[in-house]
Chain A
Amino acid sequence: MDFYNGQALLDLCEKENILISAAMKEREVTMGTLTGEEVDAKLVTVLEIMRNSSHRPIEKPGKSIGGLIGGEAKMVNEYGKTAQSIAGSMLSKAISYSMAVLEVNASMGLIVAAPTAGSSGVVPGVLMALQEEKNLTDDDLYKGLLNASAIGYILMRNASVSGAEAGCQAEVGAASAMAASAIVEIMGGTPKQCLTAAVLAMSNLLGLVCDPIAGLVESPCQSRNAIGVANAITSAELAMAGVTHPIPFDEMAEAMYRVGKSLPFELRETAMGGCAGTPTGCALGCAICGK
């Protein structure tokens, strides 16, 4: 049992009357090498790493190797608790958690690439905040992870999740689509609504370039993860409210891939354009790499 695109996934869910998470687990057990128990055990480890990496820098901030980030997650988390907070509890927690993961990543700590290291904050940021705000169990989050991995798998297969190949829209964009779909399933939406949320998330970040200052996974990657979170939450909210998008999931995935391929190479992880290519970005690059 396998599915190669979004439409096939929807057809399968409808025919079997199952959710996307169940379809993805079934696919793994029938087509891959893992048993259902092994999948469950690996999900426990994944969630544990996500929980640690999204919380540790808020309690104990540290500097990144390149020195461009460090301490931001704590600042955002604390500001979110004040009466002045603009974002509100759910969004404030989610963005601070996502930024925390990027701090762990940038200081050689343990993270889960989801789908990449550069976009590793989005999925845990959303899931951890949702758990706290909606009193969810870990089992709910495992379903969210399975659902997110189905979206990510289709994008890896039919498009790209590599910044070097297709820009940040492929990394944070994919992570945001994965997270949006996961939220919808956890909150009781249908598989169709999940894909709608993923389409909205992708279309909102279409064209986003990959322009890491000094070539490091620090800035603007950290705040891009926060945007990926906000975009996922917004897209899920729209889909749950019944808003649709005229473009089907598979066409949007292809559009994202084509846009990515048409980005000039300066804007695909080479640290030559965008933020990295500004005079200040270049100067920081020279200072960090010692040239």
Chain B
Amino acid sequence: MNFLSIFDVIGPNMIGPSSSHTAGAVAIALLARKMYGQPIKKVTFTLYGSFAKTYRGHGTDKALLGGTLGFHTDDERIRDAFEIANKMGVEYHFIPDEETVTNHPNTADIFFEDEDGHTLFVRGESIGGGKMKIVRINNIDVEFTGEYSTLIVQQVDKPGVVAHITQCLSLHNINIAFMRLFREDKGTTAFTVVESDQPIPRDILQYIKINPNVQDLMLIEM
């Protein structure tokens, strides 16, 4: 069991009204923004299950949009997320989908796109108490929480890529807390997710990129 801190009990400090429907939604979107790593131009949110049914009353829409604008769960600007996004020229859409059954009742998809063709699809689940996990990137099922420094490598599923990643980490003296490989089909695209409880330095990315089978890199700093 994870250590329960004083501030897991008396906390989180959050914008209401619901830790799962509001704070968890902010956390999913904030993490998705960090993964995208591009200026936000256009974002489409699809809401499932309980999110689809009650998103207006819980402010889940403002929470998701606020998270993609970079607001944390305790940021009072979340309430004004629509106005702020309009001022910044961010285009946003919400699609409530009550038909599709997802694994978890509080699930949201976030799809970023811009005119240069940078796109990213992220699916997150708000699992209670403001906690969440990312369960899909593009079309590949993954699982991580963003509670650690996280490195996500998109790669061709070929021998030697994981060895290359671990070697780069080892040379930078990074201790791996968790590491998992996710893939759709053998030999196609895969994601390696590395979580560390120490900061992963950004300059490590240039070394990992050297391997020709590495397609894309995302670093989520703490």
A→B interface (CB under 8 Å): 24-25, 28, 31-34, 39, 42, 45-46, 49, 64-66, 104-118, 120, 123, 145-146, 148-149, 152-153, 156-157, 162, 164, 178, 214-218, 288-290
Report whether B9 and A149 are in contact in the complex, using a CB–CB cutoff of 8 Å. yes
Q: How many A-B residue pairs have CB under 8 A?
A: 133
Q: Is B101 an interface residue (CB 8 A)?
A: no
Taken residue by residue from 146 to 157, chain B's Cβ proximity to chain A (1 for < 8 Å, 0 otherwise) reads as 000000000000
The interface size bin for chain B is 35 or more
Across the interface, name the chain B residue whose C-beta is closest to A155. Answer: B9
A216's contact among B11, B23, B58, by CB below 8 Å, is which?
A: B58
Of B49-57, B109-117, B181-189, B206-214, the one with at least 4 CB within 8 A of chain A: B49-57
Of B40-48, B72-80, B86-94, B162-170, the one with at least 4 CB within 8 A of chain A: B72-80
Report whether A289 and B56 are in contact in the complex, using a CB–CB cutoff of 8 Å. yes
B→A interface (CB under 8 Å): 1, 3-19, 22-23, 50, 53-54, 56-59, 62, 74, 76, 78-79, 128-130
Report whether B9 and A156 are in contact in the complex, using a CB–CB cutoff of 8 Å. yes
Report whether A66 and B57 are in contact in the complex, using a CB–CB cutoff of 8 Å. yes
Least CB distance from A127 to B in Å reads 11
Cβ contacts under 8 Å, A178 to chain B: 9
Across the interface, name the chain B residue whose C-beta is closest to A271. Answer: B54
| A83–B76 alpha-carbon span in the complex (Å) | 38
Given contacts A106-B17, A115-B10, A149-B9, 15 further A-B contacts (CB under 8 A): A33-B5, A34-B5, A42-B6, A65-B58, A108-B59, A108-B62, A110-B15, A112-B14, A113-B23, A117-B17, A214-B57, A216-B17, A216-B58, A217-B17, A289-B57
Report whether B10 and A32 are in contact in the complex, using a CB–CB cutoff of 8 Å. no
Report whether B59 and A113 are in contact in the complex, using a CB–CB cutoff of 8 Å. no
Report whether A46 and B11 are in contact in the complex, using a CB–CB cutoff of 8 Å. yes
Least CB distance from A122 to B in Å reads 12
